[in-house]
């Protein structure tokens, strides 16, 4: 299933500074695995009380939710009103109504009359108490004169509909922008006031000024529960393409079926933006449909004749809330290798998910902004919607000659890059600037730059250290003690060492603080895929770390000459974590190879694992060599699990 692609595709170079984000919404600091989101994928990406709209992937105010820590105070409590633009806590004895986003009395609040209490409560002996006789309802006509059918949450969080006084002036189905305009206190995302109805009485239940049907809406409360309620809903005109809406001046857009909110449909809506369907856009408001897909406007279709040249009409899977559906959509389909192979002036050769959604392809894609290899600060600056560090617009290329000079005149190279676009990972050739090569921080001459791990331009599965800006300038240098990554200028605290120290690439022991050594291929990073899966790839860099021994290569034959005095030969993962390497290190614990153990610290090798159904210390040996195995075990050739899907050969005590 393909998810909807947001404006400025979600791009992550799995190692290095994946992308440059908007200045006021920076990417998480650090040079290791980053996922820079220029929009949102989940509510936690937004600043409360905004939530992530699952269709447009934009942060917006939820129609039915509270403004933590309080809510806007209703007009009757003007003396408690907050400063403009700032959410305020509710007054004493009041709380935020999770539905209307207004302050209402708390259960059991002091009162002088029942009107001082929340709907469904009555004033008894000076306190608001549940009203056993509160009149339940489905629509306004079932309530006494002067009251309407209002939704409320009882003290147990259960959704109830009871008769109560109106909160605003507008009836069910009337157009609205804010809940305070509505009698029910609820302005739905469809832009009309909530109000109960039945199909038989819709003409009297709903605002007669609007053409209405009695539809359904899913109301989500703060506890995560969803409730389906009948409500006055604007009548929608189904469509399959924009020209079906031509006589109304509207656009064919994605929405939920008003009679079945579990089904997605396309319907005519008032056009929101002036860009043409399939044309370039930067935000949803640019498009007639109100939906900007990556860098171009959504357009519904029946076949390719409904689309601009170079587009195909394909069934794409969309998700809106919990509702999933397949919508035929105009999608870029003209393959390319460089921007020069795209005939339209508003198109560029951009990485996009391929038709199967299993990898990336270079496709002529509409967009606004800078071309391939030109300077950028964030994805919105680029026609491709993708800005790569050090500030280059990503775009397809076939050879180095397809790339311009960099922003400061640097040479740009056409090389494969492992990218993630809209949740799909793949490798495509794009113009890139190689960072200056380095082996230690002292090799970097530009102020504020350090030696950092970057993916190789010639093999994006391997690391090539290069000079780049320190993620946390002024923080702990290479080898400095730390507890948190934020305390290190490299933004990586190696908590696996004892004591934990700040990560930093080194060439020799002289690059490290006293008492530390430079260990080659000692710190592994994920270069593609998902950690813990068989398809994941890794590579390693050197790093300064507390002295744990020489780490020189050895054979594991148990001879006196194999390792320096006081060290043992132990298995460690190689740089790509696909085979075992043998290195001399100080023993961690007393247990010899094959001895029973409970955890790693009991073993000389620092590795306790399940061998033959029993947890034993891993210990290297040589068949026919010195007797180094614990009593009851012998030296045998076999395999030993390294990570998911990899059990390389190894001779050890079993």
Q: What is the pLDDT averaged over residues 127-142?
A: 86
Give the CA distances from residue 87 to residues 84, 222, 536, in Å, rounded to whole numbers and listed in that order.
Answer: 8, 17, 45
99 pLDDT higher than 60: no
Contact 603, 586 (CB under 8 A): no
45 pLDDT higher than 60: no
* pLDDT bucket at 223, cuts 50 / 70 / 90: low
Q: What is the pLDDT averaged over residues 29-42?
A: 32
Q: What is the pLDDT averaged over residues 311-315?
A: 93
The region that residue 173 occupies, defined by phi over 0 for left and psi between -120 and 50 for alpha, beta otherwise, is left
pTM of the model: 0.59
Q: Which two tokens stand for residue 585?
A: 């290190």
Q: What is the pLDDT averaged over residues 355-376?
A: 91
Q: What is the pLDDT of residues 555-582, one digit of tens each?
A: 999 998 999 999 999 999 999 999 999 9
318 pLDDT higher than 90: no
As separate numbers, helices (DSSP H) first and strands (DSSP E) second, the chain gives 1, 34
Q: How many residues does the chain have?
A: 654
The region that residue 461 occupies, defined by phi over 0 for left and psi between -120 and 50 for alpha, beta otherwise, is alpha
Q: What is the pLDDT averaged over residues 30-53?
A: 42
Q: Which two tokens stand for residue 344?
A: 């339209």
> How far is Cα 381 from Cα 383, in angstroms, rounded to an integer?
7
Q: Write down the pLDDT at residue 2.
A: 25
Residues 6 or more apart whose Cβ sits within 8 Å of residue 388: 11, 13, 18, 19, 20, 394, 417, 430, 432
Please give the share of the chain, as a percent, with pLDDT higher than 90. Answer: 45
Residue 600: helix, strand or coil by DSSP? helix
User: Which has more confidence, 419 or 40?
Assistant: 419
> How far is Cα 435 from Cα 129, in angstroms, rounded to an integer?
69
Is the bond preceding residue 529 a cis peptide, omega within 30 degrees? no
Q: Which two tokens stand for residue 342?
A: 């795209």
User: Which has more confidence, 68 or 39?
Assistant: 39
Q: Write down the pLDDT at residue 568.
A: 95
* pLDDT bucket at 40, cuts 50 / 70 / 90: low
Q: What is the pLDDT averaged over residues 307-319?
A: 89
> How far is Cα 221 from Cα 203, in angstroms, rounded to an integer?
29
> How far is Cα 3 from Cα 565, in angstroms, rounded to an integer?
59
Contact 201, 212 (CB under 8 A): no
User: What's the chain's average pLDDT?
Assistant: 81
Give the pairing type, strands 103-105 and 121-124: unpaired
Residues 6 or more apart whose Cβ sits within 8 Å of residue 164: 119, 120, 147, 148, 150, 152
* pLDDT bucket at 29, cuts 50 / 70 / 90: very low
Complete DSSP assignment for 48-95: TTEEE-TTT--EEE-SS--BTTB-PPPGGGGGGPPSTT---PPPTTEE
> How far is Cα 584 from Cα 566, in angstroms, rounded to an integer?
10
46 pLDDT higher than 60: no
Q: CB neighbours (10 Å) of residue 63?
A: 21
Q: Write down the pLDDT at residue 122.
A: 82
20 pLDDT higher than 50: no
Helix (H) or strand (E) holding 392: strand 392-393
How many Cα atoms within 13 Å fall on the side-chain side of residue 286? Answer: 19
Q: What is the pLDDT averaged over residues 628-650?
A: 94
Q: What is the pLDDT averaged over residues 183-212?
A: 86
Which stretches does DSSP call E strand in 285-391?
Answer: 292-293, 296-297, 311-320, 323-332, 347-353, 360-366, 387-388
Q: Write down the pLDDT at residue 87.
A: 37
Torsion angle of C-alpha atoms 93, 97, 70, 105, degrees rounded to 10: -10
Contact 159, 153 (CB under 8 A): yes
* pLDDT bucket at 83, cuts 50 / 70 / 90: very low
Lowest mean pLDDT, pick from 315-324, 327-336, 473-482: 315-324
User: Which has more confidence, 284 or 648?
Assistant: 648
Complete DSSP assignment for 602-618: GBTTS-EEEETTEEEE-
287 pLDDT higher than 80: yes
120 pLDDT higher than 80: no
Q: What is the pLDDT averaged over residues 420-425?
A: 80
42 pLDDT higher than 50: yes
């Amino acid at each position: 299933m393909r998810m909807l692609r947001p404006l400025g595709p979600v791009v992550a170079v799995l190692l290095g500074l994946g992308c440059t984000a908007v200045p006021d919404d920076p990417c998480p600091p650090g040079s290791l695995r980053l996922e820079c989101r220029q929009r949102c994928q989940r509510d936690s990406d937004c600043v409360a009380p905004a939530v992530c709209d699952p269709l447009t992937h934009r942060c917006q105010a939820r129609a039915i939710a509270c403004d933590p820590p309080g809510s806007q105070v209703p007009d009757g409590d003007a003396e408690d009103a907050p400063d403009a633009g700032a959410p305020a806590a509710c007054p004493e004895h009041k709380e935020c109504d999770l539905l209307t986003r207004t302050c209402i009395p708390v259960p059991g609040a002091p009162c002088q009359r029942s009107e001082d209490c929340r709907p469904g409560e009555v004033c008894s002996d000076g306190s608001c108490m549940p009203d056993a006789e509160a009149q339940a309802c489905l629509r306004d006509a079932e309530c006494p004169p002067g009251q309407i059918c209002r939704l409320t949450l009882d003290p147990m969080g259960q959704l109830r509909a009871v008769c109560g006084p109106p909160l605003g002036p507008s009836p069910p189905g009337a157009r609205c922008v804010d809940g305070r305009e509505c009698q029910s206190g609820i302005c739905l995302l469809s832009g009309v006031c909530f109000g109960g109805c039945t199909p038989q009485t819709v003409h009297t239940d709903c605002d007669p000024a609007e053409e209405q049907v009695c539809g359904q809406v899913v109301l989500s409360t703060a506890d995560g529960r969803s409730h389906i309620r009948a409500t006055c809903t604007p009548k929608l005109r189904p469509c399959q393409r924009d020209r079906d809406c031509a006589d109304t001046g509207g656009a064919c857009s994605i929405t939920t079926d008003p009679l079945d909110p579990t089904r997605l449909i396309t319907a005519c809506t008032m056009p929101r933006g002036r860009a043409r369907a399939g044309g370039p856009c930067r935000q949803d408001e640019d498009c007639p449909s109100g939906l900007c897909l990556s860098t171009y406007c959504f357009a519904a279709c029946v076949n390719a004749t409904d689309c601009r040249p170079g587009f195909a009409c394909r069934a794409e899977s969309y998700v809106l809330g919990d509702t999933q559906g397949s919508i035929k959509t105009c999608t870029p389909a003209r393959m390319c290798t460089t921007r020069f192979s795209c005939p339209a002036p508003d198109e560029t050769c951009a990485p996009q998910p391929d038709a199967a959604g299993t990898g990336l392809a270079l496709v002529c894609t509409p967009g606004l902004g800078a071309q391939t290899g030109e300077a950028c600060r964030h994805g919105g600056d680029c026609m491709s919607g993708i800005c790569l560090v050090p500030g280059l617009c990503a775009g397809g290329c076939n050879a180095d000659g397809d790339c311009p000079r960099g922003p400061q005149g640097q040479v740009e190279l056409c090389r494969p890059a492992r990218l993630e676009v809209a949740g799909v990972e793949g490798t495509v050739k794009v113009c890139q600037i190689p960072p200056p090569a380095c082996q230690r921080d002292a090799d970097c001459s530009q102020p504020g730059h350090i030696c950092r791990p970057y993916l190789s331009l010639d093999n994006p599965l391997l690391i090539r250290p290069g000079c780049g800006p320190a993620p946390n300038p002024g923080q702990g240098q290479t080898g400095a003690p730390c507890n948190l990554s934020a305390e290190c200028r490299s933004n990586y605290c190696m908590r696996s060492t004892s004591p934990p120290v700040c990560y930093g690439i080194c060439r020799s022991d002289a690059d490290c603080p006293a008492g530390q050594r430079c260990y080659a291929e000692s710190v592994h990073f994920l270069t593609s895929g998902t950690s813990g899966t068989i398809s994941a790839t890794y590579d390693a860099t050197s790093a300064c770390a507390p002295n744990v021994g020489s780490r020189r290569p050895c054979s594991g034959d148990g001879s006196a000459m194999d390792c320096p005095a006081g060290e043992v030969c132990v298995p460690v993962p190689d740089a790509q974590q696909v085979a075992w390497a043998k290195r001399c290190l100080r023993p961690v614990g007393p247990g010899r190879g094959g001895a029973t153990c409970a955890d790693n610290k009991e073993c000389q090798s620092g590795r306790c694992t399940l061998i033959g159904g029993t947890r034993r210390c891993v210990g290297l040996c040589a068949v026919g060599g010195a007797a180094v195995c614990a009593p009851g075990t012998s030296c045998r050739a076999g395999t030993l699990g390294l990570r998911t899907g990899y059990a390389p050969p190894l001779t050890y005590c079993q």
